[in-house]
Amino acid sequence: MSAKPKLAFFSFASCEGCQLQVINCEDELVALLGAVEIVNFREAIDERRDDYDIAFVEGSITRPEDEHEVKEIRERAKILVAFGACATIGGINAIKNFQPQEKVSQYVYGDQAATFPSYPARPVHDLVKVDLKLHGCPISKSEFLEACKCLLAGKQFTVPNYPVCVTCKLAENVCLYQKGMTCLGVVTRAGCDPMCPTFGNKCIGCRGLIDHPNVNAAFDVLEDLGLTLEEVTKDFTMFDGCHKEITEKK
Amino acid sequence: MLPKVLEKSKFAAFATALAGEYQVVGPQLKEQSKAGGETFVFGPVTDGAALRMDYNITLLSPKKYFLPMRETLLKYTTVGHPKAEAVMDTRQRVIVGAHPCDIYATWLLDKVFSTDHKDPNYLSRRERALIIGLDCAKPCDETSFCHDMGTNYVESGFDLMMTDIGEAYFVEIATEAGQALLAKAETREAHNEDFAKRQAFMERKQGGFHKRIPVDTKYLPEILEESYDSLVWEAIGRRCFSCGSCNLVCPTCYCFDITDKLNLDLTSGTRERTVDSCQLDNFASVAGGESFREQRSSRLRHRFFRKAKYIQEAFGRKGCVGCGRCDRNCVAKINSVETYTQIAGSR
Ligand code: SF4
Ligand code: SF4
Ligand code: SF4
Ligand code: SF4
Ligand code: SF4
């Protein structure tokens, strides 16, 4: 890599909320900008160049033309980071995967539907090799900064493979199950410094499942608490509708 | 040293006076549920009136003041001559209101962190901490099984031990440091009636606790030994999330992980220690990606073996104090008393 590594940000089907999180880094951003050069970032700068080293790819792949573009990014980038739930697991976009595609297109584009072909949402790793996944809807600022520091220093960044419960315990939160609520934190990948349970809300799984989630046990526990199979599946497909273990339950 | 009596009305002033010299940590209300249930945590106070000496159990034990959930071990820089500077917590601390089981657990941790490799960070905190115990007359709730583990009575491990005798606390003085602490309180000599009230408390206590595991727990090491291939492990393993909560809230667990964190300048950083759990997927992963405890069932079995066998063999006392924190926090409702009962029954 040249003196200053070049970063680029790209967006596919997404709300661009993850890019916004980068801008929200404010204080740290100044220090970060000293160490890198940003050559493509629609949310923040007008300049666009294609000589990037690290590409942050936000959004899921839902259109034929996205495929070509994401492959091109892969070819140019030395490191490709899937950025946010849409990109790492399909995210909110994958809710449409469980509905008739024509109906979805019609709902969004009306009589223009034929002009905008789209298909069920796919995470980026379905199409190209992904070097690092930064999960979450939106991504966590602190995780993003940690990952940047590691990438720049040539150090390995380890994405947590333990559930939200771990960080919930570190924060000494009262478990929501003890309060008669439910929570997907037992099978959801940590890294968010348990935003939701800390503020009394159930984890809805925006960071996707851990590597070996005990999904059966989760369904059992939730059904024991009176939820129907349909309700449980709905909780899980809010973000992780592309996950094999979940789609198999569907 | 002869015991003293501290009127309850004077307790808050005592704790506040201590807070002028020490960091005073004790039981406080964390949350009140809509149904009226209360959850407590240990936390620092400056006003003794915030202490809830009527608490039943806290989410985490006072262990967090000796082995914090996260801590910085050192700061380093790699510019020029690489340098590292140890970070030590040297605060003088008084832990107020520790129950016997948590005191018992501290005894065990002291052994662990001072045998073979002496852990400077743990010991720095531990040596500067004073413990004011609070005896309990009944189990915290239906999950506790301290009586089975023999940890609801402690003879040592505290500087002062308070017993609730109605309008006042009967205060036993175990160390000179404890005596110096108590000098800050307005106390009086213990009279015959106070001793009698203390005796009545002890009798109530004896009737208040009941055994819950059908076998005598002194046989657990052998019973576990025989259960190695039991299908019980398989069965509870199927329900387990490997979420680690059971370990992370346990007052006797002491595993941790160490990571280096870079600062934004990329040339300096910190070394961080975070508590870890043997139930997590990657806990037993080693370089090359191999894991020597891949199955949930074998990870669970390992936890129970640690608690009621291995630690006993290594340190001569049980590795579990029966506080029930693991069970209260298990979303899968995996329960220690039930597990030991099943294991003992499946031979
Ligand atoms: S992951 Fe969430 S915040 Fe990020 S782009 Fe997708 S929808 Fe927006
Ligand atoms: S609230 Fe959720 S994340 Fe926290 S411990 Fe309970 S199940 Fe786990
Ligand atoms: S607690 Fe769950 S839903 Fe909330 S931010 Fe974390 S992973 Fe996402
Ligand atoms: S708390 Fe329960 S579910 Fe979680 S690892 Fe422990 S035994 Fe398994
Ligand atoms: S194993 Fe459970 S009951 Fe025993 S000391 Fe640990 S948390 Fe308490």
* pLDDT tens sequence for chain A (250 residues): 447 899 999 999 999 999 999 999 988 888 888 889 999 888 778 878 889 999 999 999 999 999 999 999 999 999 999 999 999 999 999 999 999 998 999 998 999 988 888 999 999 999 999 999 999 999 999 999 999 999 999 999 999 999 999 999 999 999 999 999 999 999 999 999 998 999 999 999 999 999 999 999 999 999 999 999 888 988 899 999 999 888 887 7
Please state the separation of Cα B40 from the chain's center in Å.
14
Query: What SS3 state is found at B257?
Result: strand
Ligand 1, pocket-test mutation among A9, A12, A16, A124, most atoms within 8 A of CB: A16
Question: What's the pLDDT band for B289 if we cut at 50, 70, 90?
Answer: low
Handedness of CA A83, A85, A87, A92 (dihedral sign): negative
- The token duo for B191 is 């009279």
Give the Å distance between the CA of B319 and the centre of ligand 5.
8
Q: Distance from B192 to chain A by nearest Cα, in Å?
A: 43
Facing residue for B244 by CB, picked from A162, A212, A220: A162
Scan for tokens 């009941």, then name that residue.
B210
Per residue in B139-169, pLDDT (tens digit) is 999 999 999 999 999 999 999 999 999 999 9
Q: How confident is the model at residue B35 (pLDDT cuts 50, 70, 90)?
A: confident
Which residue's alpha carbon is at the smallest distance from atom 8 of ligand 3?
A206
Inform me whether the pLDDT recorded for B322 exceeds 70. Answer: yes
Q: How many CB atoms lie within 10 A of CB A140?
A: 19
Which single residue is written with the structure tokens 């505290």? Answer: B158
Instruction: Return the pLDDT at B286.
Output: 65
Can you tell me the mean pLDDT for B108-122?
Answer: 95
Average pLDDT, chain B: 95
Confirm or reject: Cβ of B253 under 6 Å from ligand 4. no
What is the bridge-based pairing of β-strands B93-98 and A54-58? unpaired
CA-closest candidate to residue A73, choices A42, A87, A52: A52
Q: Establish whether residue B181 lines the binding site of ligand 4, counting it when its CB lies within 6 angstroms of any ligand atom.
A: no
Token couple for A231: 């309700």
Provide mean pLDDT across the span B89-116.
96
For range B65-78, the mean pLDDT: 97
Determine if ligand 5 sits within 6 Å of the CB of residue B325.
Answer: yes
Backbone angles phi, psi at A9, to 5 degrees: -120, 135
Find the mean pLDDT for residues B232-248. 97
Structure ipTM? 0.95
Residue of A nearest to B235 (CA): A217
CB nearest to A186's CB, from B243, B264, B282: B243
Ligand nearest to the CA of B101: 5
Give the integer Cα–Cα distance in Å for B198 and B163: 7
Find how far residue A189's CA is from the centre of its chain: 11
B311: its two tokens:
């630690």
In the predicted model, what is the mean pLDDT of residues B18-46? Answer: 95
Q: Distance (Å, rounded) from C-alpha B285 to C-alpha B293?
A: 8
Mutate which of A9, A11, A14 to test ligand 1's pocket (most atoms within 8 Å of Cβ)?
Answer: A14
Gap from CA of A186 to ligand 2 centroid (Å): 6
| pLDDT given at position A1 | 45
Closest partner CB to B241 (pick from A32, A163, A170) = A163
Give the pLDDT score at A31.
85
Quick check: B93 and B22 in contact, CB under 8 A? yes
Is the minimum CB–CB distance between B1 and chain A shorter than 8 Å? no
Whether residue A64 has a cis bond before it, omega within 30° of 0? no
CB of B334 shorter than 6 A to ligand 4: yes
What φ, ψ does residue B195 adopt, rounded to 5°?
Answer: -60, -40
* Separation in Å, CA of A149 to nearest CA in chain B: 6
The per-residue pLDDT for A244 is 87
Q: What is the pLDDT of residue A249?
A: 78
User: Structure pTM?
Assistant: 0.95
Q: What are phi and psi of B290, to 5 degrees?
A: -70, 145
For residue B326, the ligand 4 atom closest to its alpha carbon is 1
- Does any CB of chain A come closer than 8 Å to the CB of residue B308? no
B335's tokens? 């329960």
Give the minimum alpha-carbon distance from A127 to chain B in angstroms, rounded to a whole number.
25
Interval B205-209 mean pLDDT? 96
> Which residues in chain B are closer than 8 Å to A177, comparing Cβ atoms?
331
pLDDT at position B244 over 50: yes
**What pLDDT is recorded for position A63?**
93
Q: Which CATH architecture has domain A6-153?
A: 3-Layer(aba) Sandwich (3.40)
Secondary structure class of B136 (helix, strand, coil)? coil
Q: Do A31 and B275 touch (CB under 8 A)?
A: no
Backbone angles phi, psi at A69, to 5 degrees: -65, -45
Please, is B3 exposed, middle or buried when counting C-beta atoms within 10 Å of its C-beta (0-12, 13-18, 19+)?
Answer: buried
Over range B285-291, report the average pLDDT. 68
Measured distance between the N- and C-terminal CA atoms of chain A, rounded to whole angstroms: 46
Q: How far apart are CA A189 and CA A163, in angstroms?
A: 5
Instruction: State how far residue A170 is from chain B, nearest Cα, in angstroms.
Output: 6
Mean pLDDT of B2-8: 98
Token pair 């759990």: residue: B277
Closest partner residue to B41 (CB to CB) among A172, A175, A220 is: A172
User: What DSSP letter does each residue of A28-95 carry, written as one string?
Assistant: HHHHHHHH-EEEE-TTT-S-B-S--SEEEEESBB-SHHHHHHHHHHHHH-SEEEEESHHHHH-GGGGG
Tokens of B165: 């005798």
Q: How is chain A split into domains, by residue range?
A: 6-153, 164-249
Residues in A closer than 8 angstroms to B284, CB to CB, are none
Closest CA to B252 of B336, B155, B318, B179: B318
CA B241 to CA A187: how far, in whole Å?
A: 7
CA dist A55 and A39 (Å) reads: 10
